[in-house]
Structure 1
Amino acid sequence: MKPIPPGAKGTHAKLVAAADLASHLDPSLAAVLSTPTMIAMMEQAAIEAIKPFLDAGESSVGMSIEVSHTAATPPGHRARAEAEVTKVEGRRLEFAVRAFDDVEQIGSGSHRRAVIDAAKFNDRLKTKQKS
């Protein structure tokens, strides 16, 4: 892993489709961007922020996320998530995350990830699956 500087940024955007809606999870919910989809977009933005610094065979895993989802986004609108590295402690990283739609900010919070050796991580999973 190359040194990851605080301030490294990443983004992830998408057009809100039917599969992204809260009503897709439960028909009784509103037909707006679901919180799990917004969180996934924030995680992807964090991954994009650190991708240039990872060596071959390295990846990252989410450790925690704490966000507020503060505005609704209807289908057909564009949603965008942004992540900025705020703290680096060895292989553990912290990010400020925010999400927007065409009109306003729709969410914000913090996210933590850890850089991993993908092969070792997958080997540990295989051991768990055999148990």
Structure 2
Amino acid sequence: MKEVQLHAKCQEEVIVDEAKLACNVGSGIVSVYATPMMIAAMEHAAVQCLQPFLEEGETSVGVLMHTTHDAATPAGMKVRISAEIIAVDRKKVTFSIIAQDEKDIIGKASHERFVVMKEKFEAKAQAKLC
């Protein structure tokens, strides 16, 4: 892993479409942006933020996500996810993440990822099948 730059940031945008609604992903019966879809977008933004600091063969895996989902977002709205690296402890990288739609901050998260060697990590997981 290269030296990780504190306060490095990444922003992504998603459009809330029918496939991202709580009533369509099994996380509720309402027609609003589903919490699991927001969390997935938050995690994806963190992955992208860390990517420039990884060496060949490395990847990162999420180990903790502490999230609030504070406001509902209807289909058709744009959501911006902003991830920032706020701490590094050897191979553990911590992020502060904010999600906001066109009107409100809709969610916040503290997220931790560990840098691992992809092949070794996957081999260990596959060994569980034996």
So what's the TM-score if we normalise by structure 2? 0.95
Match of 1:63 in 2: 63
Q: Mind listing any 5+ residue stretches in structure 2 that lack a counterpart?
A: none
TM-aligned CA deviation for residue 46 of structure 1: 0.5
Q: How far apart are 1:104 and its partner, in Å?
A: 1.4
Q: Which amino acid aligns with 2:45?
A: A
Q: Deviation at 1:25?
A: 2.6
Tell me the residue number matched to 1:123. Answer: 123
Gaps of 5+ in 1: none
RMSD (Å) for aligned C-alpha atoms: 1.3
Measure, in 2, the Cα distance between the counterparts of 1:96 and 1:55. Answer: 23
| Residue-pair matches, total | 130
Equivalent position of 1:108 in the other structure: 108
SS in 2 for 1:30: coil
* 3-state SS of 1:103 partner: coil
Q: 2:39 — aligned with what?
A: 39
| Offset, 1:12 | 2.2
Q: Deviations over 1:39-92 (max 9, x none)?
A: 011101111111111111111000011111001111111112111111100100
**What is the letter of the counterpart of residue 80 of structure 1?**
R
Report the secondary structure of 2:52's partner residue: helix
| Matches of 1:2 and 1:113, distance apart in 2 | 15
Distance 1:31 1:66 in 2: 24
Q: Is contact 2:77-2:101 (8 Å) kept? A: yes
Secondary structure at 1:108 match in 2: strand
What percentage of aligned pairs have identical amino acids?
37
Decide which moves more: 35-44 or 5-14.
5-14
Contact 1:41 1:80 in 2 (8 A): no
Q: Is the 8 A contact 2:45 2:83 kept in 1?
A: yes
TM-score of the two chains, using structure 1 as the length reference? 0.94
Contact 1:11 1:44 in 2 (8 A): no
Q: Partners in 1 of 2:36 and 2:60 — Cα distance?
A: 19
Distance in 2 (CA, whole Å) between partners of 1:28 and 1:3 is 41
**Runs of 4+ deviating beyond 6 Å:** none
